[in-house]
Amino acid sequence: MNIAKVDLNLLVYLDVLLREGSVTKAANQLSITQPAMSNGLKRLRDLFKDPLLVRTSDGMTPTKRALELQPIIRDVLSKLESCIQPDIEFSPATSVRTFRIMTSDYAESTLLLELISRLAVLAPNISLDLITPSDVTFHDVEQGKVDMAINRFEELPLSFHQKVIWYDSFSCVIGSDHPMRHNFDLAAYLKGQHIWVSKTGFGVGVGIDPNEVQKLGWVDAELTKIGKQREIRVFTRHYHAALQLTKTQNLIATLPTKAAKIFKDDPSIIVVEPPFDIPPIALKMAWSALLHHDAGHIWLRRLITEVANAMNSEPQP
């Protein structure tokens, strides 16, 4: 096929169609009429010899071929946009930009606290809008409505850019007067009562069933491997709440070590190693290809990396 005969605007149409999953929404996004977008979809189907989007009970569903094309086309368009855009330098000292970041309580309590301190010096007029995972969908990030997602992800869409910020081990937090503090072995761990802290992802969450151990996350998955199960009394999504409960209720919290470090100087708690192996977890940042070449976004990503590297060089509790 001679690419000179291909209307490259069709690639823009396909990119928006796959992001919106709707001819009407895609037309509105590009400020064209719905018949014009429908005609564009017909031409795309002829070009790729594939239906691309098929109407199902869930709406317009992309075909396997469309899903394969999506990250490729997004990357091509992103690079083309960066070539066309004027090369404008980003000045953090004078910028008044607001960055919207989806972040879990874990990342907010650790990485983001340090990032905010650094921003106060380097970019005093920049604002952060920190959004909880339940308020955001993959679609929001993909469209660039949210600048970045920082969390622990098991999988991400192929169209996303991503970077590991750090790997974190696990620690156990107990009250300084906990009856098992002097003999914290596996038997004591299993005899105690526990606080579970969620590994939040995207979208609205649902309640927890204590009997569905396979859905409880890394700690309980490792216990299952050795044929053990802990007694969980409290389920929470907040690390600060978990740490406070260890001080007042004789409960055990098994947390990522950087979260446990928040209260390392508090004399009313003790941070100890778990009495069994738990693989480290990866904290990642993910962002849309639409923002990959944005000068301000590049600056923020580099700053986050610098902050994380500095935190990684600190001694563990």
pLDDT digits (tens, 9 = 90+) for 97-117: 999 999 988 899 899 999 999
Q: What is the mean pLDDT of residues 242-261?
A: 89
The whole-number pLDDT of residue 237 equals 81
Is there a shared CATH topology between the 92-167+282-313 domain and the 170-279 domain? yes
The predicted model gives 30-52 an average pLDDT of: 90
The answer to whether the CB of 290 falls within 8 A of the CB of 144 is yes
- Is residue 206 pLDDT above 50, yes or no? no
Burial status of residue 309 (CB atoms within 10 A of its CB: 0-12, 13-18, 19 or more):
exposed
More confident residue, 78 or 231: 231
Domain boundaries, the chain: 3-84, 92-167+282-313, 170-279
Of 168 and 247, more confident: 168
Q: How far is CA 237 from CA 93, 125, 199, in A?
A: 35, 31, 8
Backbone angles phi, psi at 60, to 5 degrees: -85, 115
- This prediction has a pTM of 0.70
In the prediction, which pLDDT does 192 show?
Answer: 93
Query: What's the pLDDT band for 204 if we cut at 50, 70, 90?
Result: very low
At residue 273 the predicted structure's pLDDT band, cuts being 50, 70 and 90, is: very high
With beta carbons less than 8 A apart as the criterion, state whether 158 and 64 touch.
no
Mean pLDDT of 211-225: 75
* CA geometry: angle 200, 250, 227, nearest 5 deg: 60
Query: Has residue 199 got a pLDDT over 60?
Result: no
Tokens encoding 314: 């600190």
pLDDT at residue 208, as a whole number: 55
What CATH code is assigned to 170-279? 3.40.190.10
- CATH of span 3-84: 1.10.10.10
Residue 9 has pLDDT above 60, yes or no: yes
Distance of CA 280 to the CA centre of its chain: 17
Domain 92-167+282-313 belongs to what topology?
D-Maltodextrin-Binding Protein; domain 2 (3.40.190)
- The Cα 239–Cα 266 span in angstroms is 15
